[in-house]
């Protein structure tokens, strides 16, 4: 276990290790399935076209409104010229777009971030208090176990149930039974964690275990993607990470 440093915080910059996230637009209209286009420019300034896959995809795109009231984890398509495109569902507000990727020439995973403005009448949403240890989405209840501590590895277990019964038929999604994204309130520093190892069976559950190192104390919003009944669902929690 190592202490967290500033280098362990990701997603705060549009440029890193020579690569740059270059959005085609910094403002888009509200609507459903609004196309968002961008390129990843390499150290030579050209659009990158070669990537190392991470969890079955060349690039993961996470899009959140800055009040953390909405969350989208999508996988854009890439044209031959290196232009990425993904349809987004956008209400009025300011969004953070986070591209999680590893170009072939990079020696580690990169997370590059940019803001996106969606004009219109903003309806602010208060962040839920960090009290609930369970949440329900589409009939599935997800319970959070564990006490996150800043600066060292924290074990978190998320358990899935439905109708009061444990769900043992979780399906692999992108090479894992779950994907956990944590975003620090305020600056939206980004963590993306996967369970250890690869799924050994066709189905799993009800527990999904993660080992996550939070860089600092503070309030974080957690988003768990899991797949059951051939549908990917997202469960969200607010947690308070105490100082280690």
Return the CATH number at 181.
Answer: 2.60.40.10
On whether both 39 and 86 belong to a single domain, the answer is: yes
Query: Which phi and psi (to 5°) does residue 8 adopt?
Result: -85, -5
Give the percent of the chain with pLDDT over 70.
96
Which of 89, 118, 147 terminates a domain? The answer is 118
- Is the same domain home to 88 and 153? no
pLDDT higher than 70, residue 173:
yes
Chosen domain end from 118, 143, 178? 118
Q: How many domains does the chain have?
A: 2
The reply to whether 100 and 176 lie within a common domain is: no
Burial 55-88 (b: 16+ CB within 10 A, else e): eebbbbbbbbbbbbbbbbbeebebeeebbbebeb
Answer yes or no: is 29 within a domain. yes
Domain boundary among the residues 118, 152, 167 is at 118
pTM: 0.94
Residue 202 inside a domain? The answer is yes
Quote the tokens at residue 233.
């669902």
Which pLDDT tens digit goes with each residue over 62-71? 999 999 999 9
**H/E element, 115:** strand 110-118
| pLDDT, average across residues 55-59 | 96
pLDDT for residue 8: 64
- Residue 1 pLDDT: 30
Tens of pLDDT, residues 69-115: 999 999 999 999 999 999 999 999 999 999 999 999 999 999 999 99
Residues 6+ positions from 40 with CB-CB distance below 8 Å: 19, 20, 21, 22, 47, 48, 59, 82, 84, 99, 101, 103, 112
User: Which domain range does residue 57 map to?
Assistant: 9-118
- Based on the fold, state whether residues 110 and 22 are members of the same structural domain: yes
Same-domain status, 188 and 212:
yes
Structural tokens at position 164: 């009061």
In a domain, 126, yes or no: no
């Amino acid at each position: 276990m190592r202490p967290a440093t500033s280098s362990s915080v990701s997603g705060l910059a549009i440029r890193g290790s020579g690569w740059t996230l270059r959005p085609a637009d910094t403002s888009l209209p509200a609507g459903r399935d609004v196309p968002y286009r961008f390129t990843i420019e390499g150290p030579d300034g050209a659009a990158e076209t070669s990537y190392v896959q991470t969890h079955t995809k060349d690039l993961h795109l996470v899009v959140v409104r800055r009040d953390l009231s909405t969350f989208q984890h999508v996988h854009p398509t890439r044209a031959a010229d290196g232009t990425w495109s993904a349809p987004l569902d956008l209400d009025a507000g300011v969004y953070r777009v986070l591209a999680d990727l590893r170009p072939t020439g990079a020696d580690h995973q990169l997370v590059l971030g940019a803001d996106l403005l969606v004009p219109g009448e903003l309806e602010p949403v208060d962040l839920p208090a960090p009290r609930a240890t369970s949440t329900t989405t589409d009939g599935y209840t997800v319970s959070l176990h564990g006490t996150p501590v800043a600066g060292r590895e924290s074990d978190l277990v998320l358990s899935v149930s439905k109708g009061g019964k444990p769900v043992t038929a979780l399906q692999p999604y992108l090479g894992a039974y779950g994907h956990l994204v944590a975003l620090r309130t305020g600056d939206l520093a980004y963590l993306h964690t996967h369970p250890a190892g690869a799924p050994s069976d066709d189905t799993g559950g009800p527990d999904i275990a993660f080992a996550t190192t939070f860089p600092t104390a503070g309030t974080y919003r957690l988003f768990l993607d899991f797949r059951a009944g051939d549908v990917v669902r997202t469960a969200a929690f607010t947690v308070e990470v105490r100082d280690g």
